[in-house]
Amino acid sequence: MRKDMLLFLLVILLSCNKKVEKTSPVEESITESVYASGIVKSKNQYQVFSTVNGLVKEVLVTEGDIVKKGDAIIRIADITAQLNKENAQIAADYSSVTANADKLNNARIEIENAKSKMDNDASLAKRQRNLWEQGIGTRNEMDQRELAYKNSTNAFEAAKLRFADLQKQISLQAKQSQKNLQLSNNTINDFIVKSERDGKVYNILKEKGEMVNTQTPVAIVGDASSFILELQVDEYDIARIKPGQKVLLSMDSYKGEVFEAQVLKINPLMNTQSKSFTIEAIFITPPAKLYPNLTTEANIIIAVKEKALTIPRSYLLDDTYVLLPNDEKRKVTIGLKDYQKVEILKGITAKDILIKPD
């Protein structure tokens, strides 16, 4: 019983000696911001993909190289494609107009021969007709000459048609074979992975002899000197973010330093897994050196007020009330908030004394 009494008296004594923390509102500047985290990315940074499957035959660049649009990055083994190209080249050569010049010449000769025979038969038919009119010769002889002339005329027209058809056929075959050759050349080009724009090779993701496919990137390329920030903002705060807002950020690579940036754009599609939105920002005061994928933590400035009546956030109850002496609980209207203090718009003045809640 005596032990319990001693414990009770000790609790009473400690309660009486507990120091009550107090404060009063202060007029000062306050800045409200939204927290964001993210990475540094090279401007126009993108993943390079192959358009075909195969084995890496040769890596043509090294990390850190500067490339131009269209420069080759990786060559993929293309034995079948090369054979197809050679076959297409053979077919194109065989089907060309030049290669078929003899056929066309023979067809022209046939036309000339047919025309000569037609002209000769026409002359004979005319002579026989004149003789018939003079009473010389027989009707049968004249009919035979007329028939021979008609047949040679038909043969001449047929020779011309055959020549025209041959020309069309050779022209069509030549065009088709050239198209097939172009397709084969394009297929060959597919086996050379090229840069889509000017930039710097930041990462080579495949080595010689490794298998590549159309679903996995083979390299990362981006601008050599221009960088952006890719920040993640919680969906709770996204409605307050606007392009043009100032961003203050820090990076582990530059401890103790703060850099300025500006919100460039907001990706309107939320990431359903992280419940966050992606914000792009550009540097106003960038560090001397930057590298892709450096991590950063940032505060996006929402609003700034130079003369605001503020109290520590720890003195606020439920974002609505403050405690005054004699356990008075008073309702207040709040404004801007940062991580340590909050602006009071109505409810108390700078003369009021506040008690810190337990």
| Residue 14 covered by a domain | no
| Residue 132 covered by a domain | yes
Give the count of domains, the chain: 3
Contact between 295 and 252 under an 8 Å Cβ cutoff? The reply is: yes
User: In the listed set 134, 169, 190, which residue is the last one of a domain according to the structure?
Assistant: 190
| Residue 196 covered by a domain | no
H-type helices in 191-288, by residue range? none
Domain co-membership, 218 together with 309:
no
The DSSP annotation for 250-294 comes to: EETTEEEEEEEEEEEEE--S-BTTTTEEEEEEEESS--S---TT-
Domain co-membership, 249 together with 272:
yes
Looking at residue 8, its pLDDT comes to 47
| Residue 92 covered by a domain | yes
Looking at residue 90, its pLDDT comes to 66
Domain co-membership, 276 together with 334:
yes
| Residue 4 covered by a domain | no
| Residue 7 covered by a domain | no
| Average pLDDT, 10 consecutive residues per value, the chain (358 residues) | 49 54 90 93 92 89 93 82 61 67 85 90 87 83 88 90 86 78 67 90 92 92 92 94 94 92 95 94 91 93 91 89 89 87 91 88
pTM, two decimals, is 0.57
**Alpha-carbon span 316 to 356, nearest angstrom:** 8
- What would the pLDDT profile of 46-96 be if each residue is shown by its tens digit? 999 998 888 898 999 999 999 999 999 998 886 565 556 666 576 666 666
**Alpha-carbon span 116 to 157, nearest angstrom:** 12
Residue 212 belongs to what domain range? 46-77+203-222
